């Protein structure tokens, strides 16, 4: 199997797991990913297999060891005004509370963009929940390259109410409250990269230098304020970012 055929086989395998509750992204014998370039190539092939639709990206600043955290959002974002169907585990859905930036202008490939140009291209900021799904088996140990190519556990995002853009750009920490029935959990969450827009600046320039256009309407999420949270399904859930916004949503099994 030549490298092109090899990469295509992995892309088809990974994207097939996106539409099954019994996802198993474990790579079959004979398939492997050994470098960043292969992982990014798989991501681009998955976008092509997704009818060339990419609704945005999830990103962080590169890790201390140089590992890249960047993956396309292949599912249309959910509105916070409706019941959200998601793949669940033991009657729970896993989420990460984040801020989403929505682009109002295109930023074309091969450009080198300043922080100010990126700020101006962002039209809106919103409360957001990333929907998390581990598609690998419990007894399988995926490499970082495999997790990267598979989408870094993303199964979609929920877009909540709009946040004042200036407030979003200064939100180094947020007091988050999540309430289900009578149980409420409140904590002060800190952005893992200091400010939510820091990964945005890196990701835009990384992608455009790879030849990827950023399109108006695409959404970028840039890291969780408090890691992963498990929420019960079929219960009204109130998500509050103190001083920024609040919304209700009910999750159900997909």
Q: What is the pLDDT of residues 41-72, one digit of tens each?
A: 999 999 999 999 999 999 999 999 999 999 99
Could you give the CA distance from residue 117 to residue 95 in angstroms, rounded to a whole number?
31
Number of compact structural domains in the chain: 1
Is it the case that residue 244 has pLDDT exceeding 60? yes
Is it the case that residue 136 has pLDDT exceeding 80? yes
What CATH number did the domain enclosing 33 receive?
Answer: 3.90.850.10
Domain assignment of residue 58, given as a range: 3-253
Is it the case that residue 211 has pLDDT exceeding 70? yes
* Mean pLDDT (whole number) for 135-155: 96
Mean pLDDT of the chain: 95
Could you give the CA distance from residue 239 to residue 223 in angstroms, rounded to a whole number?
17
Checking phi first, is residue 151 left (phi over 0); if not, alpha (psi -120 to 50) or beta?
Answer: left
pLDDT grade, residue 23 (50/70/90)?
confident
Q: Using DSSP, state whether 230 is helix, strand or coil.
A: strand
71-104: per-residue pLDDT in tens? 999 999 998 778 899 999 899 999 999 999 999 9
Could you give the CA distance from residue 208 to residue 92 in angstroms, rounded to a whole number?
37
Please tell me the predicted confidence (pLDDT) of residue 20: 83
Q: What is the pTM of this model?
A: 0.94
Residues in the chain: 254
């Amino acid at each position: 199997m030549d490298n092109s055929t090899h990469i295509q086989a992995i892309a088809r395998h990974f994207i097939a797991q996106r539409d099954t509750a019994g996802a198993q992204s474990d790579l079959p014998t004979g398939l492997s990913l050994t470098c960043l370039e292969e992982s990014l190539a798989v991501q681009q092939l998955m976008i092509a297999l997704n009818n060339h639709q990419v609704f945005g990206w999830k990103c962080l600043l590169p890790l201390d060891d140089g590992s890249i955290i960047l993956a396309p959002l292949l599912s249309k974002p959910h509105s916070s005004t409706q019941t959200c169907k998601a793949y669940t585990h033991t009657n729970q859905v896993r989420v990460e509370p984040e801020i989403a930036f929505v682009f109002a202008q295109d930023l074309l490939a091969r450009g080198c963009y300043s922080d100010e140009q990126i700020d101006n291209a962002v039209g809106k900021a919103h409360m957001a929940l990333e929907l998390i799904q581990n598609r690998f088996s419990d007894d399988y140990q995926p490499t970082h390259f495999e997790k990267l190519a598979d989408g870094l556990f993303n199964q979609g995002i929920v877009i909540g109410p709009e946040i004042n853009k200036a407030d979003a750009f200064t939100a180094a920490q947020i007091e988050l409250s999540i309430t289900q029935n009578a149980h409420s959990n409140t904590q002060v969450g800190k952005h893992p990269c200091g400010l939510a827009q820091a990964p945005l600046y890196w990701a835009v320039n990384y992608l455009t230098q790879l030849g990827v256009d950023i399109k108006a309407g695409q959404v970028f999420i840039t890291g969780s304020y408090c890691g992963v949270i498990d929420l019960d399904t079929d219960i009204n859930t109130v998500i509050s970012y103190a001083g920024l916004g609040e919304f209700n949503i009910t999750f159900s099994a997909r």
